[in-house]
C-alpha cells in the first residue's frame, strides 16, 4: 500500500511550524471595527447632547443659571455616563458579532471576548481623540495658558501706556490734577490746566517705580510742582497728594495681580481635575467595554 501523505504533528520534524492552526484567526477585526464605530458615534452624539444641555443651563446674567461648581460636577458625571453607554454598546457589539470559535476552551473564549471588547474601546477612543484633538488639547493645556495670560495681563491692564487716558492708571493720574476748589472759585485760567504731556510724563514716572517701592523724594517734589502749578494747591499739599495717589495706584496694581494669580491657580487646578476625571472615565470605559463583550460573546454562542 502507498504510504499516507498526511503527517501528524508528532511525525513532523522539529523546527517546522504547524501551518494548520493559522487558518482561523483569534481576532475578528470586522466585529472590532463595528463595535468601535458604534461606540465612537454614540459618544459623539452624547457629547453634543451634553454640550447643548450644558449651554442651556448657563445664563449670561449675573446670579442666573447654575453655579460653576454645579456645572463642573454635571460635566464630569455626563462624561462618565457617556463613556459607560458608548463603551458598553461597542463592547457588546464586538462580542456579539465576532466569529464563533469552535473547539476552544471556555477560558480562552472568555479571554478573547474580553480582548475584543478592549480593542473596540481602544479603536473608538483613538478615533474620538483624532476628531476632538482641539477639545482635548484645550482641556489639558487650558490651565497653563490661562495662568500665563492672566498673570502677564494683570499689570498691563492696570499700568496703562503713557498718555492713555483710559484704564485705572489714567484715572489715578487724572486725580492728581483735579483743581482745588478754592483755586477754581478764584477763576484760574483754563490754560493752566494739565496738558497731555504733563499726564504722560507723570504716568512714566509712576510706572518707573516698582510695585513695592515708594516714589523717590525728588520725583515727589517734581511732580508736586506740576500738580501745584496746575491745581492751585500749595507745594506741601501737592506733594502729599502725589504720595497718596501713588500709594493707591500701587495697591491697585498689587490687588489686580493677586486676583490674576488666584484666577490662574483656579484655572490650573480645574485643568488638572479635568484631566484626572477624563482618565478615570476612560478607564471605566475600558472595563465596561471588556465586560460587555463577554456578555455579547455568550449570547453569540448560546
| pLDDT tens-digit readout, 117-159 | 999 999 999 988 887 765 555 544 544 454 445 445 544 444 4
Q: Is 18 part of a structural domain of the chain?
A: no
Q: How far apart are CA 142 and CA 65, in angstroms?
A: 24
45 in helix, strand or coil? helix
Q: Is 22 part of a structural domain of the chain?
A: no
Question: Which contacts (CB < 8 Å, 24+ apart) does range 278-281 have?
Answer: 278/79, 278/136, 278/139, 280/80, 281/76, 281/79, 281/80, 281/82, 281/83
Domain match, 117 and 200 both? no
| Total domains in the fold of the chain | 2
Q: Is 50 part of a structural domain of the chain?
A: yes
Domain match, 123 and 211 both? no
Q: Is 174 part of a structural domain of the chain?
A: yes
Domain match, 190 and 232 both? yes
Domain match, 69 and 135 both? yes
Torsion sign, CA atoms 246, 247, 253, 256 = negative
Domain match, 187 and 82 both? no
| Cβ-based neighbours of 140, under 8 Å, separated by 6 or more | 271, 274, 275
Q: Is 2 part of a structural domain of the chain?
A: no
Q: Is 114 part of a structural domain of the chain?
A: yes
pLDDT tens sequence across 274-291: 788 888 999 999 999 999
Q: Are 135 and 44 in contact (CB under 8 A)?
A: no
Domain match, 163 and 247 both? yes
Q: Are 176 and 220 in contact (CB under 8 A)?
A: no
Domain match, 34 and 137 both? yes
Domain match, 125 and 214 both? no
Q: Is 7 part of a structural domain of the chain?
A: no
Domain match, 279 and 228 both? no
Low-confidence ranges of the chain (pLDDT < 70): 1-24, 55-68, 133-169, 180-196, 210-212
Q: Is 23 part of a structural domain of the chain?
A: no
Q: Number of H helices and number of E strands within the chain?
A: 9, 0
Looking at residue 150, its pLDDT comes to: 47
Q: How far apart are CA 190 and CA 183, in angstroms?
A: 11
- Cell matching residue 256: 489686580
Torsion sign, CA atoms 205, 209, 213, 219 = negative
Domain match, 38 and 108 both? yes
Closest CA to 207 of 252, 154, 157, 162: 162
Domain match, 135 and 277 both? yes
Stated length of the chain: 302
Torsion sign, CA atoms 100, 104, 106, 112 = negative
- Look up the domain containing 45 and give its range: 29-145+273-301
Looking at residue 119, its pLDDT comes to: 94
Q: How far apart are CA 212 and CA 204, in angstroms?
A: 16
Amino acid at each position: 500500500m502507498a504510504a499516507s501523505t498526511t503527517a501528524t504533528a508528532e511525525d513532523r520534524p522539529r523546527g517546522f511550524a504547524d501551518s494548520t492552526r493559522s487558518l482561523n484567526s483569534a481576532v475578528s477585526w470586522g466585529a472590532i471595527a463595528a463595535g468601535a464605530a458604534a461606540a465612537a458615534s454614540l459618544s459623539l452624539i452624547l457629547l453634543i447632547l451634553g454640550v447643548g444641555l450644558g449651554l442651556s443651563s448657563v445664563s449670561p446674567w449675573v446670579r442666573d443659571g447654575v453655579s460653576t461648581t454645579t456645572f463642573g460636577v454635571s460635566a464630569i458625571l455626563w462624561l462618565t455616563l457617556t463613556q459607560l453607554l458608548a463603551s458598553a454598546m461597542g463592547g457588546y457589539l464586538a462580542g456579539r458579532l465576532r466569529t464563533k470559535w469552535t473547539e476552544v476552551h471556555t477560558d480562552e473564549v472568555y479571554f478573547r471576548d474580553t480582548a475584543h471588547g478592549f480593542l473596540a474601546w481602544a479603536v473608538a477612543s483613538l478615533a474620538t481623540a483624532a476628531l476632538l484633538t482641539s477639545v482635548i488639547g484645550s482641556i489639558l493645556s487650558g490651565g497653563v495658558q490661562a495662568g500665563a495670560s492672566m498673570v502677564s495681563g494683570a499689570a498691563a491692564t492696570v499700568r496703562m501706556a503713557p498718555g492713555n487716558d483710559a484704564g485705572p492708571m489714567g484715572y489715578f493720574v487724572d486725580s492728581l490734577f483735579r483743581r482745588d476748589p478754592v483755586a477754581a472759585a478764584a477763576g484760574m485760567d483754563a490754560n493752566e490746566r494739565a496738558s497731555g504731556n504733563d499726564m504722560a510724563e507723570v504716568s512714566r514716572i509712576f510706572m518707573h517705580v516698582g510695585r513695592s517701592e515708594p516714589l523717590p523724594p525728588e520725583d515727589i517734589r517734581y511732580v508736586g510742582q506740576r500738580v501745584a502749578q496746575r491745581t492751585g494747591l500749595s507745594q506741601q499739599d501737592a506733594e502729599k497728594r502725589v504720595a497718596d495717589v501713588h500709594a493707591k495706584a500701587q495697591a491697585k496694581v498689587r490687588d489686580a495681580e493677586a486676583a490674576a494669580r488666584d484666577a490662574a491657580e483656579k484655572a490650573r487646578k480645574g485643568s488638572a481635575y479635568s484631566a484626572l476625571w477624563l482618565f478615570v472615565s476612560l478607564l471605566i470605559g475600558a472595563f465596561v467595554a471588556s465586560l460587555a463583550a463577554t456578555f455579547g460573546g455568550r449570547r453569540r454562542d448560546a
